Amino acid sequence: MEDEVDRLVAAWRRERPDLDVEPLEVLSRVSRLARHLDRARRLAFSEHHLEPWEFDVLTSLRRAGAPYQLSPGQLLTQTLVTSGTMTNRIDRLAKKDLVERLPDPSDRRGVLVRLTPEGRDRADQALAGLLAQERAILAELSRGQRGELAALLRRLTAPFDNIPG
C-alpha cells in the first residue's frame, strides 16, 4: 500500500539522489499523523464545547485526583505555557464555571485552581470522545503493533521530555 510520503520520498530521490532522504520516511509520516490527530482531537473537543487548551487545563486538574485542584504553577508545568497565558486561561475557564479559584491554605498569597463539577463532567466526556477518535485512528494496528509503536515512539520522545529546565 503506497501513501503520500512514498510519493514524496520517491520524488526527492529522483530530484536529489545525492541526499539520504530516509528520515522523511518516518518523520513525514509522524508529522502527517500529528495533523490528522489534531483534527480528530479538535472534533472530539468541539462536540463538548471545548477548545484544545481548555481540555489540557481541565484534564490536568482531573488527573490530579480529588479534590481536583492544582496551583497555577503546577498547571504551568503540566501545560507548558507562560504564566500570563495561564492566568488568562484560568480567567476564561472561571467565567465558564469550569474552574474556581480558592485561597491556598499553605500560602496566604497563593491560590489554588479547582475543577468545578461541570468542569469535571466536561473533561470526562471530552476524554471519552477523544479516546473513541484515537481508537479509530489506531484500528489498523493489532494490540502488539500498537505496543511496538508506542515503545519506538517513547525512545524518540523521551530525550525531549527529560531535558532539564
pTM here? 0.81
Q: How far is 56 from 75, CA to CA, in rounded Å?
A: 9
Looking at residues 47-67, what average pLDDT do you find?
95
H helices, E strands: number in the chain: 7, 3
Q: How much is the pLDDT for 110?
A: 87
Q: What is the mean pLDDT of the chain?
A: 93
β-pairing, 69-70 with 99-104?
unpaired
Give Cβ neighbours of residue 133 (< 8 Å, ≥ 6 apart).
40, 41, 43, 44
Domains, the chain: 1-14+22-147 (1.10.10.10)
C-alpha cell at 148: 511496538
30 grid coordinates? 509522524
129-148 average pLDDT score? 94
Three-state secondary-structure class, residue 16:
coil
Q: Spell out the residues 6+ positions from residue 67 whose beta carbon is closer than 8 angstroms to its own.
A: 114
Prior bond of 67 cis (ω within 30°): yes
